[in-house]
Structure 1
Amino acid sequence: MFEALFSLIAATGLLLGSPGPAPLALAASGATFGVKKSTGFLVGILLGLCVAIVGATAGVAALYSAWPEARLAVQICGALYIGYIAIKIATASVLDRDQSTAARPPSLLDGFIFNLLNPKAYAAFLAIFSQFLLPIEESGFSYVATGLVCLVVAAVVDFTWLCLGGSLRPLFHKPKQARVIRVSFALLMVAAVLFVFLR
């Protein structure tokens, strides 16, 4: 059981912690708006992840196999929404002396919709549940326990990305550096989405 748990934690950390749309958006939001103001966005992303976990266990793969156009529609909606968040981050105002910004940070609802439409989240959980399901006799409890472990790992990984972005915040008092960092994060988010489409 310990080996299975360790494997699950490692796989979840690698799959959800790799630089994809959600980690990059959290880092960008932390750098642009600060960790405290981005907490709602983080909570929304984790709530969206809960839906992805339930969706993966409820057979999203079967739905996508039966209706491939449903998968494409979700991917397109997700890509457009991730693009919207990227633009919001890239065009945020430079910090003033009071360390506030004119633009509003992404909200809890933004985070929820973001991960609800994030194809990487569903793909990650389909892989996790097919390869790293905890070996518990009761099948239902096995899925619940695996999902809870995944959610805890995701919370730690996502909070780490948010804090890493927040550590760049002092650079945002310099307009040129702030613009370069924000636009770089936004372009990386778009590149992560394109990578999913081109695979």
Structure 2
Amino acid sequence: MSEALFSLIAATGLLLGSPGPAPLALAASGATFGMRESTGFLIGILLGLCVAIVGATAGVAALLSAWPQARFAVQVGGALYIGYIALTIATAPVGERGQSAKTRAPSLLDGFILNLLNPKAYAAFLAIFSQFLLPIEGRGPSYIATGLICLLVAAVVDFIWLALGGSLRPVFHKPLPARITRVSLALLMLAAVATVFLR
């Protein structure tokens, strides 16, 4: 059991912690708006992951694989939404006063929608549930325990991404480095989305 648990944690950490749209969006939000202001966004991302976990166990990921048109539509919707989040971060005013007056951190709803439209999350959980399901008696308890471990690992990994972004916050007191960092993080988010379409 301990070996299966370790394999599950490692696989989940690698699949969900690799630089993708959600982790990069968390880092960018933390760097732009600070950790406290980005907490709702983090919670929304985790709630979206809950939907992806349930969806993967219910076969949504298999459905998206079977119907490429539906998968493509979800990918396009997700890409557009991630583009909106990236634009919000890249164009946020420099300096804390202007920032709070003119723009806001991505919200809980923004995070939820981001992961709700993230086919990578569904595919990751389909892979996890097909290869790293915890060996617990009964299919239901096994899926529930595996899903809860995945959610816990995701919470830790996503918090680390948010904290890494938050550690860049002092750079944002100077206008030029702030703008360069924000635009760079936004471009990395868009590059992560582009890789989905280039496969």
Asked whether the two chains share a fold, i.e. TM above 0.5, the reply is yes
Q: Give me the whole-angstrom Cα distance separating, in 2, the residues matched to 1:186 and 1:90.
A: 6
Query: Where in structure 2 are there 5+ consecutive unaligned residues?
Result: none
Q: Which moved more, 1:67-76 or 1:156-165?
A: 67-76
Determine the C-alpha separation between the residues in 1 that align with 2:151 and 2:65.
Answer: 26
Change beyond 3 A, Cα 1:175–1:66:
same
- Equivalent runs, 1:1-199 vs 2, <5 Å: 1-96=1-96, 100=100, 102-199=102-199
Retained in 1: the 8 A contact 2:20–2:192? yes
Cα contact 1:93–1:101 (8 A) shared by 2 = no
Cα distance in structure 1, aligned partners of 2:153 and 2:25:
18
Distance 1:167 1:115 in 2: 24
Task: Give SS of 1:19's match.
Answer: coil
Alignment length (residue pairs)? 199
> Match of 1:118, as an amino acid?
N
Counterpart CA distance in 2 for 1:55 and 1:6 is 24
Between the aligned partners of 2:96 and 2:110, the Cα distance in structure 1 is 25
Q: SS of the counterpart of 2:102?
A: coil
Letter matched to residue 91 of structure 1: T
TM-score when scaled to structure 2? 0.96
Unaligned runs of 5+ in 1: none
TM-score by length of 1: 0.96
Deviation at 1:99, TM superposition (A): 8.0
Cα distance in structure 1, aligned partners of 2:196 and 2:100: 34
Q: Partner of 1:155: helix, strand, or coil? A: helix
Higher mean C-alpha displacement, 99-108 vs 53-62: 99-108
Distance 2:84 2:165 in 1: 19
Give the direction of change, closer, same or farther, for the CA distance of 1:20–1:162 in structure 2 (3 Å limit): same
